[in-house]
Amino acid sequence: MAILNSIRKRGVFLIIIIALALFSFILADVIRNGGFSTEKSLTTVATVNGENMPREAFMKKVETTQRSLGPNGTTAQAINSVWDRELRTVLQQQQYELLGLTAQPEKLEDEMRNGLATNATFQDANGNYSPGKVQEYVANVKLTNPSAYQSWLDYEESIKSITLQNTYYNMIRGGLRSTLSEGEKQYRFENDKRNLEFVFVPYTKIPDADVEVTDADITSYVKNHASEFEVAPQVDIQYVSFSEAPSSADIADAEKDILSFLNDKEVYNKATNQTETVLGLKNTTNYAEFVNANSDAAFQDRYFFKKDLPASIADTLFATPVGAIYGPYKFGNTNNISKVIAEKTMPDSVQSKHILIRYSGSLRASDAITRSKADAKKLADSLNAAIKRAPSKFKELAIAFSDDKSNSEKGGDLGFSGPGRMVPAFDKFIFENPTGTVGVVETDFGFHVVGVEDQRNKQKAIKVATITKEVEASETTLNDVFAQASKFEVSSQKGDFAEVAKSQELALKPVNKIGALDANIPGVGNNRTIVNWAFNEETEVGDVKRFSTADGYVIAQLTRKSPKGLMSVAEASAIVSPKLRNEKKAAKIRAAISGESLQDVASSQSVTVQNATAITMAAPTLPGAGAEPAVVGAAFAKNVGETTGLINGEKGVFKVKVVAVNNAPDLETYSMYANQLNNAATPAVNTKVYQALKKASDIEDNRANMF
């Protein structure tokens, strides 16, 4: 009671303290998020020169793009693809507005005319493009088909975008036209020649060990060339993994399990209150039902050639007589037993042709197909009868009646196909009937009038019934792996991560230079969860965390966290050290050189005077030294008989004397070379402009928060 009375007396004081604590918590969150708009990074993909890119619209485009990428496409790929497209659009649109560019109706009409001229929907009776037909179509779909109307609006927007884009880039290209004077310079660059004498003292003359490049040297170079060494935020991690792979006990149990399907079983039936015999693979005759009820893989009602089977079992399985069983055998992560249930001689490929008669509701039937299923069957039967009376009419009837326009003009020819390539009913007909057979086959696509044209390479094929069971980790194994992973997580949080891994004989795997938008972790695969954790502002270097993966667990430790800035000494060393080492070697070489003439310089360094003939600025290659553009450029600035000073080149220190100047003759016009420059610059305009706009823009990129 005394405590309660004390709290009551100080109630106002406590409320003030709690309020201040809450305010400080909110203020800290505001500071971390760069202002009071704490939801901005979650609702806005990016802010480009002050213009927001909304998350909702962006992610809808990501979903569409990911579907188009197929099952192997990742969210990261889709996000980055849409990002490049949307960022380009925003930057270009900002330029259009800045320049006052607009898409005039006349220009849009011209673009639309070019795009729709060959579409029959927008043509008049004479086959010409008709603006009236366009208006009629738009008015119709606006009233009757909202989806088609939205597609039309999207098409109009794309026409407008293309028109503005073409205008913008054409203006830029117009300003990049090379002059005749520039053409002349290019002509001289390629054709003026010099004969040279030179002395070349290679940097390799001085051992690397005699030249020290310090961390301070590298740091200074990086700061002085900051634009070349900027890096985005990066993290390093190290991790160990725990796999939920089946144990040896699990594998042994799986082998027993697969064998249990061989023999008949006595099973008690509660419904009939009787014990019944359930046939095993040895005695069953209903193979499809048995396999589909007991196997992890469905029954395949088809014949296999030896080449169609896994190489490891093909020979043995083909040598197994009909009715006999092969196995158990392992294939991948599965146990299997196979019974050969039939064999026959059949072609490995068949050439066929067809006339497809679709009906309303059949697979891939367009809205234009209105016939009923009964009418489609009647037409197919009629065509079949006509062809049997006159086989030569197949091509003519295919052209006239087939709804498969991909081959109707070729008389319905489908070429050669192997077993299993066509839909089952069609496949069975062409492989089980002799050449020359014509008949009607029903599939989900409609009714096919099918002709068997040719059959090749008849050989033995077998049909098998296979029970496949994936070898899975047991509950005991899964629990053991979880316990091991959890134990390591706790131990590594208390001790040295690497030492704990070593003591438990676990492979320690480092992953360096992970970017905020990366998704793939080598050895783990796609795992944004790990990347997001490593970049989380609350995660500190040394922190350890357990993550679930597709096949177990990963225990990761954050080992480095670098904000956006310049490369570290360690990162820049491979690039900078060779440059600084050569600079220091050049200084040593220069200090050791005596004399002014080429011969004196050569003698002082125990090298020879060399010759180079017909050297151009376009191909600045010196014998024995390779490409040396700075050296050749200095030589071209001298007259005959003149000598350069000492020059620090790519491979060493040079001194050059011009022996002969052979300038190319003047041309009447240099338009060809000016055009050459134009042609070289034009293809790269779009990319270079986009890169320049990105570099000059203020872009706040929040993509890392999107996935």
Q: What are phi and psi of 668, to 5 degrees?
A: -65, -40
pLDDT for 477: 94
Q: Which amino acid is at 457?
A: N
pLDDT at 39: 57
Please enumerate in sequence order all residues whose Cβ is within 8 A of that of 473, keeping only pairs 6 or more positions apart, or say none.
Answer: 244, 245, 246, 247, 250, 481
Answer whether 703's CB lies under 8 Å from 45's CB: yes
What pLDDT, on the 0 to 100 scale, is given for residue 20?
A: 47
Structure tokens given for 501: 């891994």
Residues 6 or more apart whose Cβ sits within 8 Å of residue 169: 685, 686, 689
Distance CA 73, CA 69 (A): 5
Phi-psi category of residue 392: left, alpha or beta, with phi > 0 → left and psi -120 to 50 → alpha: alpha
Task: Give the residue ranges of DSSP H helices in 306-419.
Answer: 311-319, 373-389, 394-401
For residue 537, give the nearest of 513, 516, 520, 554 by alpha carbon: 516
Q: Which single residue is written with the structure tokens 């299997």?
A: 336
Per-residue confidence (pLDDT) for residue 36, from 0 to 100: 41
pLDDT at 40: 60
Strand 565-566 relative to strand 552-562, pairing: unpaired
- The CA dihedral of 242, 246, 249, 250, to the nearest 10 degrees, is 150
Whole-angstrom distance, CA of residue 256 vs CA of residue 247: 15
Q: Tokens at residue 689, please?
A: 């402009």
Alpha-carbon distance of 136 to 124, in angstroms, equals 12
| CB atoms closer than 10 angstroms to residue 343 | 17
CATH topology assigned to domain 234-245+474-563? Chitinase A; domain 3 (3.10.50)
Which structure tokens are listed for 639?
A: 């007259």
Q: Look up the pTM and report it.
A: 0.64
pLDDT at 37: 41
pLDDT along the chain (707 residues), means of 10: 40 46 44 46 86 91 87 85 92 92 86 85 85 89 88 89 89 87 95 97 95 95 91 93 92 90 86 84 92 93 89 92 92 92 91 95 86 94 94 93 91 91 91 93 96 92 94 93 95 94 94 91 92 93 94 95 86 94 96 94 95 96 95 96 96 97 95 90 86 91 82
The length of the chain is 707
Full 3-state SS string of 58-117: HHHHHHHHHHHHCCCCCHHHHHHHHHHHHHHHHHHHHHHHHHCCCCCHHHHHHHHHHHHC
Q: What is the CATH number of domain 287-470?
A: 3.10.50.40
Q: In 601-611, which positions are buried (b, 16+ CB within 10 angstroms) versus exposed (e)?
A: bbeebebebbe
Contact at 8 Å (CB) between 526 and 519? yes
CA–CA separation, 76 and 57 (whole Å)? 17
pLDDT for the residue 707: 75
